[in-house]
Amino acid sequence: MLSTAAALRAARPDADLVLSMDPDHMPWGPRSHDDVVARVITGAEAAAAAPGGAPDAVVVPCNTASVHGLVALRSRFEPRIPVIGTVPPIKPAAQNGGPIAVWATVATTASRYQGDLIERYAPGGQATPVACVGLAEAVESADPDRVAEAVAYAAERTPAGTRGVVLGCTHYDLVDAEITAALGGRPALFTAAQAVAAQTLRRIGAEPEPGAAPTGTLRVLASGRPSDLPKAALAYPAGQALAVGPVAE
């Protein structure tokens, strides 16, 4: 969720953010649909119950969580609290010209949700799904060797001549330079973080106010428990950006 949270912080430095992570039950990729839905609901409810009152919005900055949990989350929170999901940016990638590849977790790659997006926006074999085995977990560890191995695995399964690569997991945003290098610098990368941040502000009726020093607080929950931002997060520019500013008490 770091890339989306950092995009929100950049757009609204005064926003109070609650990051509800779930380290006790990661990775989510291999879990069943019902398991993922249960974890998504639990994490969102923990965030909504954090001190400071009801949130203005529940943002789901994870493709796997969105693919499986958006319907349940919207049933639970809307219309009282808007829920904003993360959709793999297949449409803009296809509009930029194919062929494209869609890098995602094993669970998202196998989902009907992603299959429907491909059929709608990149039919007829324009898109190649690439299950990036171990990449999200490698990014979580902030281990360069693990990241390099997982990126290489996915790059080998990306067809030559691919013009665009959809990063269908927000973890992958954090290693976009490594992905670009492994692909020879040719395909354009498409991510969702900026679009999700913009949609969040639209849904709550707020205008972007970038450029100011961060005054909004940051609160981190680890499987419901108050926590600090994980050390691994500080290995990435997005995590470093979130670490600047006041911490919620």
Which residue numbers are catalytic?
A: 62, 169
What is the dihedral sign for C-alpha 132, 135, 7, 58? Answer: positive
CB 72 within 8 A of CB 60: no
What is the dihedral sign for C-alpha 5, 14, 229, 57? Answer: negative
**Residue 7 and residue 16: Cα distance in Å, rounded?**
13
Identify which of 37, 58, 43, 24 has the alpha carbon closest to the alpha carbon of residue 200. Answer: 58
How far from chain centre, in Å, is Cα 76? 21
Identify which of 176, 193, 194 has the alpha carbon closest to the alpha carbon of residue 185. Answer: 176
**Residue 142 and residue 139: Cα distance in Å, rounded?**
5
HEC profile of 185-219:
CCCEEECCHHHHHHHHHHHHCCCCCCCCCCCCCEE
Provide the terminal-to-terminal Cα distance of the chain, rounded to the nearest Å: 21
Q: What share of the chain is helix, strand, coil (3-state, %, to 5)?
A: 50, 15, 40
